[in-house]
Amino acid sequence: MTTDTTAVQKQDIRKLTTQQLKDWLAQHGEQGFRAKQIVEWLWKKSATSFDEMSNLSLKTRELLYNHFEIKAITTATSQKSNDGTIKSAFRLHDAHLIEGVLIPATDRMTACVSSQVGCSLTCKFCATGYMDRKRNLDAAEMYDQVAAIDRQARENYGIPLSNIVYMGMGEPLLNYANVLESIEKITSPDGLGMAPKRITVSTAGIAKMIKKLGDDQVRFNLALSLHAANDEKRNQIMPINESNSLENLAEALQYFYEKTNNRITFEYIVFDKFNDTIQDARELWEFTKKVPAKVNIIEYNPIAEAAYKNTDATRLEQFARFLESKGVIVNVRRSRGKDIDAACGQLANREKAA
């Protein structure tokens, strides 16, 4: 592809709406219907260069190349766990690294994607929480993770993605507009066409943004990383709780449910001798009564930065049985990809961005 000699500041083409692209093409003597073709290449076919757009003339492709760029992510490294989980480090256009994970199971193929480079929250048990937040990801960068992990699922298992969880690096609700835009692209028939009910956004608990999700009447699922159902304990491991107390979160979740009719998922890591007693289970049960919910009990994955340990199997079983005896829907989630630091709470790129 030849380069224009005039030093044009190239624009990120995926920031344009279809109408904006159509108007731009018209201004440059191109037919408007080309916009739809280009948008299909960018989103549905996940093209990473204008050369791939084979149904456009060479002249049109050169015009696009001279004025626009596609800031696609690239796969820097991939590791495959003994259990089949695949963790990838994705390099962004500005050389930052983020991580995404493919989690295969008998009944689903799940992509775990990141929403920020690093994280501005400081949850004490999470490796990402010990990183600085460098910046938010834009919608296209989150979309690219999903498209890349979908390709991995097809290439390694012959099965497309069935589920997406925004549970990687970062706090999704502190990157609200971009996260929602990425989901809009992922669920659009002009994008990946996935059902919103197959997507879960996980938050550490930003009450006002949970209410905003309700106001926007989102159709995807919401999960709250709870991990303790009393403020004193939750403050110790999740400083965000000091400004978003359990009372405030309960009110926000009730509001969200009234607006969307979507049941909440509470994620609860059972730490050894910290939040694994029957009294802790009782407090969790009391909290679940505030809003229709189910509980995912998650195995803890130790990290070098923290001294927390996973509870033993007996205490975990007793904890789960107590909740079930009270009518709570409980799923015990076993760790996947622990041997390659791909499990929940372990994502923290050890490689430095160039």
The catalytically annotated residue of 30, 99, 141, 267 is: 99
Separation of alpha carbons 87 and 270, rounded Å: 24
Helices (H), 68-167: 139-157
Which SS3 state, helix, strand or coil, does residue 266 take? strand
Per DSSP, which regions of 141-256 are E strands? 163-166, 199-203, 221-225
Query: What count of Cα atoms within 13 Å lies in the side-chain half-sphere of residue 273?
Result: 3
In the chain, what is the straight-line distance between the N-terminal and C-terminal CA atoms, in Å? 27
Q: Roughly what angle, to the nearest 10 degrees, separates helices 246-260 and 207-215? A: 10
344 has catalytic annotation: yes
* Helical pair 278-288 and 313-325, crossing angle rounded to 10 deg: 40
Could you tell me if residue 4 is left (phi over 0), alpha (psi between -120 and 50 degrees) or otherwise beta?
beta
Q: Which of 141, 305, 344, 351 is catalytic?
A: 344
Map residue 56 onto helix, strand or coil: coil
Contacts of 289 (CB under 8 A, 6+ apart): none
The CA distance from 77 to 349, in Å, is 11
User: Which residues form the catalytic set?
Assistant: 99, 344
